[in-house]
Amino acid sequence: MKKQRLYMISLDAFGTRDLEYARTLPTFNYLLNRSALVEKVETVYPSLTYMAHTSIVTGVYPNKHGITNNTYTQPKRQSPDWHWYAKDIKVPTLFDVAHKAGYKTASFLWPVTGRSKAINYNLTEIFANRPWQSQTLISLWSSSPKFIFDLDRKFGKMRNGINQPELDHFLTAGIVDTIKTKNPDLMAIHLVDLDSTRHHYGVDTQESKAAIRRMDEHLSQIVTAMKEQGIFEETVLALFGDHYQLDTHTVVRLNQLFKTKGWLKETKDGMIKEWDVLAKGADGSCYIYTEPGVDLAEVKHSLAQYPEQIETIYTQEEAGHLGADDNCSFLVEAKKGYYFINDSNGPFLEEIKDNEETTFHKGTHGYSPQKENYETTLFISGPGINSNARIPSARLIDEGPTFLHAMGLTFPQSVDGEVLKGLFN
């Protein structure tokens, strides 16, 4: 069987509301005019990057693939470890299916791919999370060492650690080089500059527009490389967001509330030492975990005292039905403008200062997909795709099955998503 090449480009934090501005930019406009479009795509809940990207490549909700937060629940650590490694995923991924079918695969900063055996050329999204770790060594260990070494030798001077926008500049140079020298059949690309910019400056800002312009330039370089290699017309090219963002004004420390209730205790340096009730933040939402014997009615009553900050309190069963972690006792949804952090040290509510020095996010995600004007989008072109197709809405979990269908492949397991057949000829 002839292999159908597929390139997936994730535009982190790009939403439906960005399409209007994107159409004013040359590469976005060119690609949109030749693509089938799903205008509104519903993300997963909580709408965090690692959960979303894993749902894209598995076609199932987070509580089925196992990535129900960006980070592990490690309350005794100042900086919890992230779900960097592919072994954390409980079901086969699009990478596994393609690799088994003989496809040559490449991945650039795609979440939860560390040490994946299904990716031939892998630049893992990971950072040094221990004082003794080196960013270079941890990247080499978790990725494809020779591939990473060569990229760093050629383009390492473009990087500024893991800071943006330099990281996406380095990434794009590596992608262009990989197209020309490796010619992968499946490529997964994760551009992060826009997400970082919105966290730092807010959602609809001049800085965010500048990040979208930089994104347009990255796409231009990728398209040009594909054309120079003579593969552009014969490649299925899918571009999509994983979630949108919303502006914030106040952080909420539920663990500070739980501390005053006597449900958790701190060490002398303010770290959580032990707990009966624990808040594990997902930015716009927050999991509540409890030890056996805790009065859940009392916990729920305590949370219900803050209707200005908390929009909804979901039970364990309701959280499971929404695709979230069904090991939690509750999942709470923030009202617009608020988001949750894990600290127990500091005021229960803290206003986000409008200055450069703040470490808080001025824009964030993690909210329910049902929040108004919070959808992301998908546009896709190439062999078999009807460029005139317009679908008003779909779900993130539909993307993986759709991408595999475009390649003539299917998941070996049953999935929650379905093939968006309206996009095809």
When mean pLDDT is compared across 189-203, 259-273, 334-348, the lowest value belongs to 259-273
pLDDT digits 0-9 by tens, 322-381:
999 999 999 999 999 999 999 999 999 999 998 777 899 999 999 999 999 999 999 999
pLDDT digits 0-9 by tens, 385-395:
999 999 999 99
Going by CATH, does the domain composed of 247-364 fall within 3.30.960?
no
Band (177; pLDDT cuts 50, 70, 90): very high
Selected from 3.40.720.10, 3.40.50.720, 3.40.50.880, 2.40.50.140, the CATH number assigned to the domain covering 6-245+371-423 reads 3.40.720.10
Band (156; pLDDT cuts 50, 70, 90): very high
Average pLDDT in the 2-29 region? 98
pLDDT at 78: 86
pLDDT at 133: 82
CA gap 425, 420 in Å, rounded? 11
Domain ranges across the chain? 6-245+371-423, 247-364
pLDDT at 357: 76
The rounded percent of the chain whose pLDDT value lies above 90 is 92
Helix/strand/coil percentages in the chain, nearest 5:
35, 25, 45
CA gap 278, 259 in Å, rounded? 9
Place of tokens 């963002």: 245
pLDDT digits 0-9 by tens, 245-257:
999 999 999 999 9
Amino acid, res. 310: I
When mean pLDDT is compared across 64-68, 132-136, 401-405, 418-422, the lowest value belongs to 132-136
Band (132; pLDDT cuts 50, 70, 90): confident
Q: Are 58 and 364 in contact (CB under 8 A)?
A: no
pTM of the model: 0.98
Band (268; pLDDT cuts 50, 70, 90): confident
pLDDT at 84: 98
Tokens of 12: 């982190």
Q: Residue 360 burial (CB < 10 Å; 0-12/13-18/19+)?
A: middle
Between the CA atoms of 365, 369, 372 and 378, what dihedral angle is there, to the nearest 10 degrees? 90
Average pLDDT in the 160-187 region? 97
Tokens of 293: 């014997």
| Higher per-residue pLDDT: 67 or 133 | 67
